[in-house]
Structure 1
Amino acid sequence: MPRWDDLDLETEGTGISKPLSRQVNLVGSMLGHIAEEQSGEALFEHVEGLRALCKAAEQEDAPEKREEAAERIAALDQDTLERLLHVYTTFFHLVNQAEQQEIIRINRERARQSGPSEWPLGPGDGPGADGAEPRPQSIDAAVADLKAEGYTADEVVAFFRQLDIQPTLTAHPTEARRRSVLRKEQHIADLLSTLRRPDATPDERAETLDRLYSQVAFLLGTDEVRAERPTVREEVEQGHYFLHGSIWDTIPAIHRDVQQALRRHYDATAELPAFLQYRSWIGSDRDGNPNVTADVTRWTVARQRRTTLEHYLDEIDELRDDLSISTRQLTVSDALEASLEADAEEIALPDDVRRQYQREPYRLKLCYIEERLRGLLDRIDATDVAAMAGAYAADDLLADLDLIAESLQGHGFEDAAQSGQLHRLRSLVKTFGFHLAALDVRQHSRVHEDTVAALLDAGDVVDDYGALSEEEKLEVLSRELQNPRPLVSRHADLPADAAELMEVFGVLRAMHAVDPDIVGSYVVSMTHTVSDLLEPMLLAKEAGLGAVVDGSYRCPLDVVPLFETIEDLDAADDRMETLFTHPVYAAQLEGRDGFQEIMLGYSDSNKDGGYWMANWALHKAIHALGVVCDEHDVDLRLFHGRGGTVGRGGGHTSQAIRALPPVVHNGRIRMTEQGEIISFRYALPDIARRHVEQIVNATLTATARAQNTPAPENPLLADKVSMESDVVALMDRLAEEGMSAYREFIDDPEGWQWYTAATPIEHISRLPIASRPVSRASEGEQVEFENLRAIPWVFAWTQTRYIAPGWYGTGQGLATLLENEPDARDTLRDLYENWPFFRTVLDSAQREMARARLPIAERYDALAEVETSFHAPIVDDYERAESAILEITDQAALFDGNPVLKKSIELRNPYTDVLNLIQIELLKRYRASTDDAEQEALREAIFLSINGVAAAMQSTG
């Protein structure tokens, strides 16, 4: 093996930083050497030759070079193509890890330059004391900004106490990598991090390089594609890997950051609630996934509780090492002494333990806590949620830890509650309780209607509930929700789907009885009417969840509407107002202290209306919902169902938060974290912490400013923007023109025919990356646009390099305004300069356009071989969009405002082009083959190519 320290790696002229260039060249050189060792010199020559041709095609404006690469690929056998795919895909896995290390390096460098952030801290250590400013978008920066704006310490603490931030992990099928690949990537990331250490000795570097070489070899030899779809339980395990890993460690760090910022800028400390908590859909999201059963949800609850209790036992072991304080040295509080006496009466510790800790009261207290936690562990039963109930709750554990903290603070350890292992453990218990992450249940409104119909029929109330009008349904539902008697004595005779859903509500009842914090929201997909929300309330009542009190039913669940289509978004505020004023739901709202969560679907709205219409409809709906909730004195929490890609509402979370209408900046917010986004944001602790601090920074500052800044003339526009009311009309026209272009494609029957022929959607639908089907179609039913889910819809566009859902319609929308309205240019430039919403949406579009690769996309168009091609209209819209964006943003070329990311895209393109050319060749062979065995082998190779392009593009759906 070469001595990698001796390599003279080229780092100049690449347009990326020297540290990143060195790491990319290092892992690339290792990979090349390994590929040559394992597969021979000929394969290595193919790798380099194809890359060089695709690079020359771009740099020399020589498309014939790309054609030559395609011809070389066509001449290769399938085994060689698969080996090439493995090498290129592995290269992108390595590059992605190197880029994440570069992000970490830059953040750490900024942190080092930001001034003091460690003890001793005080007002004199803040900005100005040494000329250093807080790191941008950090919690320290947020507190510093608020102080500079004149807020007092008490006001800032009040803002923190107002925060209710709840990222929500989902198992949406967008993570194409196997867990084995993810684990190896993380190991490689750790080794690259070690190589960055300036204090590493020569021997340590040599050992690390050897281990890195081995891990690259192992990664290259690992199958990219799963042999079969993961089960829901495996998805739960994957989610727990992050929850009990980087997220578990990030929470105490964020709480510590808050305390340090308060001390640094205000010389203050404060007890804060769990302002940041995680939720999960994994193991409980039933919408369209028949594999999520009541049994799976029971198992998930048990799994979360068991692993959380086990982690607390480990944390208590760490704390016991700290708290070796002896009564020979210091006294403890009377309250702690009394607590130990009460513990001794309830729990019989082994004699040797009592003797060992007879002079160490804190350690003795921790022993009693451990016994109680072990008792709870013994009660866990994956088949019976109710059996998990115990006398010791998470609040009791927190009270015991608070008792320890108060004793320490009163006897020589004033800062014990705000630092060290005790602070860490208290933060963890506040945040995760014994449940880890509250489980939401989501189900489609149609399923509720069918189940209610079955119950009403079985109870001889209504023969055909589904045939009733909305008014008639509301009359029936209102009457039954105020009637304490059950509809049927048991549910065994119901249709299978209805019986299964009633069993889920039974599980929810048991979960709530054990610990209300286990239960999250009940989300109703495709909410169209008031009855869509009253139906699950009736099902909850029928399951014995809640009760009728004084003629009004009170459901302990937060029943959450999910508005997903453009039509539903436009009508969302009217529907909520009707709901708020309905007598039955008004009583429910009163029982929930006026609190209402509302979820918005970013994926399906884009699939329904296109890029600009979806973004604008969402923005208007958010504003309108904020207004109607204010009018009815409703405490609103918006739940943003954002996907990973721009075409599904993805992008920078902190920017999206700042771009929300001011009326909804109340400190409460939820957002989904899906698929590869979970891996990207939470695989590495430093990245996780940076992501979370940016969310907290954005939510805190937006909340403070929205409550204390006069509303702009146009309430749809964000802070400090004062525009004429015709801006809304302008945005309406922009969105309508964009939607017109989009729907012209969608509504043309030949558009779907072209899409299925030009993209690998057929194979994406079979890719074993998640337990959930890619379509809402019944088994055996043909997949059409209407029942195809948004994720595979976007996934296929990304594979072909069109990436159309993230920008298409921008050309017609912007160009039409610029061409037809004399003042549009100045208005749009002003909006881009001053309105966070418009700037965010436009910048996201131009980023996706910069990532698009139309010369490659054209080859997929040629692959389609259908009568009507839609490539030309897409290219036309791209060119019109490019011209308009450059005019509005005053750039020379797309994405000039982000030169680092732009350069990264350019450097990736030649390698990604090779992956696309191989995929196109495999698709040709698959379609030309009539042999089942040959097609199966080709399909496996196509799966590998899909994973490779996903790794190169760093996104799927």
Structure 2
Amino acid sequence: MSIQPKLVRFNQNVLSKYRIYNSIFMTLPFDAVTKTGVLLPLFHETCVKGFQAGDDPTTIVETFFKKYQARRNEQSQINLFFRLIQYIERQVVLFDAIEDASFSIVNNMEGIGTLRSIKEKAAAQDKFKELRSYLEAIKVRIVLTAHPTQFYPGSVLGIITDLSEALKTDNLTEINNLLAQLGKTPFFMDQKPTPYDEAVNLIWYLQNVFYFSFGSIFDYIQQNIFDDQDIENNIINIGFWPGGDRDGNPFVTPEITLKVAQRLKNAILKNYIADLKILRRKLTFTGVRLRLKELNNLVYNTFLQKENEPQITLQHFRDELIALRKIVKEEHQSLYYNEITSLINKVHLFGFHFASLDIRQDSRVHDSMFRALVEECIASGSDVFPADFLNRSLKDQQNYLAKITGTVEGITFKDEQVVNIVETIKAIKTIQTNNGEVACNRYIISNNQTTMNVLQLFAMLKIIAFNDELTVDIVPLFETVDDLEVSDKVMEQLYTNPNYKAHLANRNNKQTIMLGFSDGTKDGGYLMANWAIFKAKERLTKISRKYKIDVIFFDGRGGPPARGGGKTHQFYASLGPTIEDKEIQLTIQGQTISSNFGTTESSQYNMEQLISSGVLNRINDTNLKMSRENKAVMDKLADISYKSYVDFKNHPKFLPYLERMSTLKYYAKTNIGSRPSKRGKSSELVFSDLRAIPFVGSWSQLKQNVPGFYGVGTALKWYDDKGQFRKVKQLYKDSSFFRTLIENSMMSLSKSFFDLTKYMAEDEEFGEFWNIIYQEYLTSKRLILKLTGYKELMENEPTGKASIQIRESIVLPLLTIQQYALRKIQELQKDPNPDTEKIAVFEKIVTRSLFGNINASRNSA
């Protein structure tokens, strides 16, 4: 039987189902305003026709009330706004659930990029040996971060999961109940979550999704590629930032870090206990039953932390499972052999740690902590640092730190910063003792600029808790364009330092380097941020190979393209032989977690795509090195784009526009994350204080998506004006890396809708600035279409385009209400005696409207 095209499968299983269940949903009574479900389609139609006619949001809203609800007073109108917002938020959830339920039907789970596809391709090309060799070495790590870009509280995520399951079987009674539950469940939090709350929310995904999807992937590889032999390499693993990421988050304390690590251990033990329970029902044989019961009791004692009862080590647990499997094979005809192997594999993947907890802090904070530590050590009479240390030359300081000896044990520190770093480093040691070294063995230095940044941490780790052996990897994170430019020089200084090189030798000569993260796009614009990372990787690969160090690149990929994200498997498949690719590591955050990894099917599919992106390059050798001519064109495009973006960023109206015309200041009121919404304490808006999430999110709410395309059009136009566009076309044809950048930028352009804010073109203060953005959008769209030969954006991804269009259609009334409320606030604030109560009401409307708009963008990753 032939498989229908993906778009047809999407239309039948997602779009049609959404229309059916949405009609049921619209009839559910949520509250006293019974007509809301009837009025929403009318308001939606008014919005569509209004924008087509060139009307602004205020005119559209006023037209709707005049035509359909003329008798409503102002308070009644406000009430309706909140009811409409409530409905639209839940329409987004319904669509999410339907997409999740249909994932395995819409996406071919055995198609291109899946493990089955790789296996068959390798067999057909007689490259099975190469495939095995690659899988014995490759590691893919996804790192779940504490950066929320999605507004669903845990209760709503639970409903989405249950709704998806009910939709798979078209269980109308259950669907009806869940939709009603959805209507009565709040979508907003009364207070900000703690870092521990964030960790608990993500641990849900570990227990309910990754435990099963990772297990299935590993089982498949073992059974089908390694003929049931045990594999030493774990291939896939998970990193974890909530509870460990202190960068800009004063609420992450050493106590929180320890608490999260214990929660991770308890969570994985709970999953093991559940699997042991299943095995005990099956393995009822002589010589197995009682031994399995005893093993279960040991794991349970460990879970309950019964110190007065016998507990179990990870090694003992694994050895016992292997012994039981051997008995089953030799004495019981291998009955349930695969089920035992599956649990052994999970123990191999997750240990007693479940996910590796990373610690992260900003280099500037470390510098302050380090100086305070040195001063307190000297004042205490300790000989760890010489009395004149801080007055020595930079070179002398670096040499001293690299070969530092001694310990700060016994010193009572008073400075709050020093106590924090000392207790944090001691917490790492404690976690390694309790959960295993892999449970917490990386410390990331964000905003890393110099060799000194690394050596300060290197020394602090050694003198505080790791005097005998440093079992922690120091990971510098180079973020800005300037930092990326000098990254290879920083690393060469470290590689040539005898003491640091000795440390790397003890760590299997591996050095992990993190690059980019979302501040890169905010700092340098879309093209330059991505190209600067690519070039930095080439230089770092070259210098690392020179000193015989295996460099591992850890990518801060963000979520949407505007934050460094996009189609991640395409990104990795596009890297050529000049960039080391033995391991793939990337951050997964916000809506990317729920959209790409939120179900066992989507998690398995997207992890397989990531594994295959490296495998196919290696066994097919399809990635050609970028030619000198193409590199020159890429350099020029990035330089022009960068200059265009920096000029735009430096425009005198840039910050005032964001502050007064966007939703930027409302992000702080949403209570979605534990971190403060900006870095500095200044009451004025400072660009460097802006966090990437509210920065990118504000452009998204305006439907302008500036960070995902600004400068691209100007760069392409330079070649077009000079009659040299053929050079860019050649680059697009030859370089899969450039094609990936263009395709991700197309997604940002596709989700822009300038009709929403066209009224700003007439604004006395911001009209000219709005037109600058709009012209760049038009130029980027026109020349990207010329470059690709497409008639419309995302022509090559009709299913992704269709999903975006439906989501954008759902939230169009929400966006209209948001813009209406923003304009009302502006009008009221012009009054010499503004009505503060009215302003507060409209500000609440703006804040509430953020939720559905951002949640609807889940397919931006």
Instruction: Compute the TM-score of the two structures, normalised by the length of structure 2.
Output: 0.92
Residue identity opposite 1:371 in structure 2? N
Tell me the SS of whatever aligns to 1:782.
coil
Among candidates 361, 380, 384, match of residue 287 of structure 2: 361
Residue identity opposite 1:211 in structure 2? E
Alignment correspondent of 2:158? 183
**Shift, 1:486, TM fit:** 2.7
Alignment correspondent of 2:789? 890
1:728 aligned onto 2:631:
yes
Q: Which has the larger radius of gyration?
A: 1
Tell me the SS of whatever aligns to 1:737.
helix
1:437 aligned onto 2:355:
yes
Alignment correspondent of 1:18? 12
Gaps of 5+ in 1: 1-12, 112-133, 196-207, 326-359, 381-386, 548-553, 710-718
Alignment correspondent of 2:825? 926
**Shift, 1:237, TM fit:** 0.8
1:510 aligned onto 2:430:
yes
**Shift, 1:575, TM fit:** 1.5
Alignment correspondent of 1:158? 133
Distance in 2, matches of 1:29 and 1:643, equals 35
Alignment correspondent of 2:812? 913
1:613 aligned onto 2:528:
yes
Among candidates 447, 452, 456, match of residue 365 of structure 2: 447
Matches within 5 A, 1:770-781: 770-778=673-681, 781=683
Distance in 1, matches of 2:625 and 2:575, equals 16
Distance in 1, matches of 2:857 and 2:637, equals 29
Paired positions, count: 834
Distance change (3 Å), C-alpha of 1:720 and 1:36: closer
1:373 aligned onto 2:299:
yes
Alignment correspondent of 1:597? 512
Matches within 5 A, 1:134-213: 135-152=111-128, 154-195=129-170, 208-213=171-176
Among candidates 311, 320, 326, match of residue 280 of structure 2: 320
**Shift, 1:934, TM fit:** 4.0
Alignment correspondent of 1:331? none
1:63 aligned onto 2:54:
yes
Distance in 2, matches of 1:854 and 1:748, equals 20
Alignment correspondent of 2:484? 569
Residue identity opposite 1:497 in structure 2? Q
Q: Deviations over 1:177-212 (max 9, x none)?
A: 2222211122211111111xxxxxxxxxxxx21221
1:654 aligned onto 2:569:
yes
1:544 aligned onto 2:434:
no
Q: Deviations over 1:415-451 (max 9, x none)?
A: 965x2x2122111100110111111100111121112
Tell me the SS of whatever aligns to 1:598.
strand
Distance in 1, matches of 2:860 and 2:783, equals 28
Among candidates 850, 857, 871, match of residue 770 of structure 2: 871
Distance change (3 Å), C-alpha of 1:730 and 1:831: closer
Alignment correspondent of 2:99? 99
Matches within 5 A, 1:36-435: 39-41=33-35, 43-57=36-50, 61-64=52-55, 68-72=59-63, 77-107=77-107, 110-111=108-109, 135-152=111-128, 154-195=129-170, 208-262=171-225, 271-325=231-285, 360-379=286-305, 392-411=312-331, 413=333, 419=338, 421-435=339-353
Distance in 2, matches of 1:836 and 1:665, equals 17
Distance in 2, matches of 1:723 and 1:309, equals 48
Matches within 5 A, 1:753-902: 753-778=656-681, 781-820=683-722, 822=723, 824-859=724-759, 866=765, 869-902=768-801
Distance change (3 Å), C-alpha of 1:150 and 1:16: closer
Distance in 1, matches of 2:178 and 2:815, equals 26
Q: Say if 2:56 and 2:756, in contact at 8 Å, map to a contact too.
A: no
Instruction: Compute the TM-score of the two structures, normalised by the length of structure 1.
Output: 0.83
Superposition RMSD on alpha carbons, in Å?
2.6
Question: Which range moved further: 555-564 or 139-148?
Answer: 139-148
Q: Say if 2:56 and 2:757, in contact at 8 Å, map to a contact too.
A: no
Question: Which range moved further: 873-882 or 17-26?
Answer: 17-26
Distance in 1, matches of 2:310 and 2:571, equals 42
Distance in 2, matches of 1:510 and 1:519, equals 9
Tell me the SS of whatever aligns to 2:102.
helix
Tell me the SS of whatever aligns to 1:775.
coil
Distance in 1, matches of 2:428 and 2:769, equals 49
Question: Which range moved further: 824-833 or 886-895?
Answer: 824-833
**Shift, 1:545, TM fit:** 1.4
Distance in 2, matches of 1:605 and 1:67, equals 36
Tell me the SS of whatever aligns to 1:63.
coil
**Shift, 1:668, TM fit:** 1.1
**Shift, 1:621, TM fit:** 1.1
Distance in 2, matches of 1:486 and 1:68, equals 70
Q: Say if 1:758 and 1:861, in contact at 8 Å, map to a contact too.
A: no
Distance change (3 Å), C-alpha of 1:860 and 1:245: farther
Distance in 1, matches of 2:586 and 2:308, equals 30
Distance in 1, matches of 2:430 and 2:551, equals 27
Alignment correspondent of 2:69? none
Alignment correspondent of 1:199? none
Give the % identical residues: 24
Distance change (3 Å), C-alpha of 1:458 and 1:214: same
Gaps of 5+ in 2: 1-6, 67-73, 379-384
1:623 aligned onto 2:538:
yes
Distance in 2, matches of 1:890 and 1:653, equals 24
Question: Which range moved further: 221-230 or 825-834?
Answer: 825-834
**Shift, 1:174, TM fit:** 1.0
**Shift, 1:106, TM fit:** 2.1
Q: Say if 1:453 and 1:464, in contact at 8 Å, map to a contact too.
A: no
Residue identity opposite 1:366 in structure 2? L
Question: Which range moved further: 229-238 or 17-26?
Answer: 17-26
Q: Deviations over 1:901-931 (max 9, x none)?
A: 3333344444322111100122233341634
Q: Say if 2:299 and 2:311, in contact at 8 Å, map to a contact too.
A: no
**Shift, 1:580, TM fit:** 0.5
1:743 aligned onto 2:642:
no
Distance in 2, matches of 1:725 and 1:557, equals 39
Tell me the SS of whatever aligns to 1:71.
helix
Distance in 1, matches of 2:419 and 2:650, equals 38
Question: Which range moved further: 840-849 or 66-75?
Answer: 66-75
Distance change (3 Å), C-alpha of 1:371 and 1:724: closer
**Shift, 1:722, TM fit:** 6.1
